Amino acid sequence: MLSTGALRAHLLAARLAGMVATSREESLRSYRLFAARDPRVLIGLDPVRNWGQRDLIALMADRCGVSADPACVSGLDVIDPELTLTALDAFADRLGAAAQRGVPVLLGTGHPHRLLGFYAALADALSAAGCAVLTPAHGRCVDITTRFGLRTYNLDYVRGVALVREAGAPSTGRETGAHTHSPLPVRTALAAAAEAGGPLPELVIGDHGWVCGAGQLGFEAIGLADTNDPALFVGQAEGVVSAVVPLDDAVRSDYYRPLTQYVLNRACLSQ
């Protein structure tokens, strides 16, 4: 089993934690937009509290390790690797509990180019443990407003992991799809599962709108989030999201493999 020390070293070497590529300016912009309740940054969450920018900085400092100083307005963000390790343990514990109960699960990502392999390994392990890995609304159209206007995407699944592709793009079960923060794909998937009479997932695993959208609808949700994605951490603080792992969500895909090994080992799902 990969030791905690070895994983901590990897997090820092791969810049998954420590000094990450996400800029302070980018994160502060997200916090401002979240405070203004911009739906592009809420990504499916409907916060109970009125979160101001200073509140969000304090929360993200506590949950991620970014600077708690509002006067710090430039440079690169920092993620405390100890917070990442603690959150990975909580994430793995939720995964292990789901596997022990053999519950239906739904996995989806808005970062398929980077994180598809991470989630696909979880899907394989959960399936082997007896969990039904759900694929509702496969092929369904989803209209998402982007900075380029309204775009139509198709909901697809690769190795049990949901993602969206631009309409008309070929699907071979191998290529990755589009980057999105939208909660509409998970809402579409959950609505289709309900229309079909179930089963509904008892755990949703993913990032961005997949976590916030599912959590807001009352489904247990766990996921990964960068320092410029405050919605997941607010959701956790308000009890809507069960576990969030702070890390850079856009490094090379192979850099996530040690995290996969660590999580599956802790969840007793290694094959």
Measured distance CA(101)–CA(256) in Å, rounded: 26
Is-contact 190 136, C-beta < 8 A?
Answer: yes
Reduce the DSSP state of residue 151 to 3 states and report it. strand
pTM (2 d.p.): 0.95
Q: What is the DSSP letter of 256?
A: G
Contacts of 169 (CB under 8 A, 6+ apart): 154, 175, 177
Reduce the DSSP state of residue 133 to 3 states and report it. strand
Compute the C-alpha angle 230/231/235, nearest 5°: 120
In which residue ranges of the chain is pLDDT below 70?
Answer: 1, 169-175, 271
Is-contact 119 55, C-beta < 8 A?
Answer: no
Whether omega before 230 lies within 30 degrees of 0, making that bond cis, reads no
Measured distance CA(185)–CA(100) in Å, rounded: 28
Measured distance CA(103)–CA(228) in Å, rounded: 31
Strands (E), 4-134: 18-23, 76-79, 105-108
Q: At which residue do the structure tokens 């519950």 appear? A: 103
152: β partners: 143
Within 10 A of 130 (CB to CB), how many other CB atoms are there? 11
Strands (E), the chain: 18-23, 76-79, 105-108, 141-146, 149-158, 161-166, 203-207, 221-225, 243-246
Measured distance CA(119)–CA(259) in Å, rounded: 11
Measured distance CA(41)–CA(78) in Å, rounded: 20
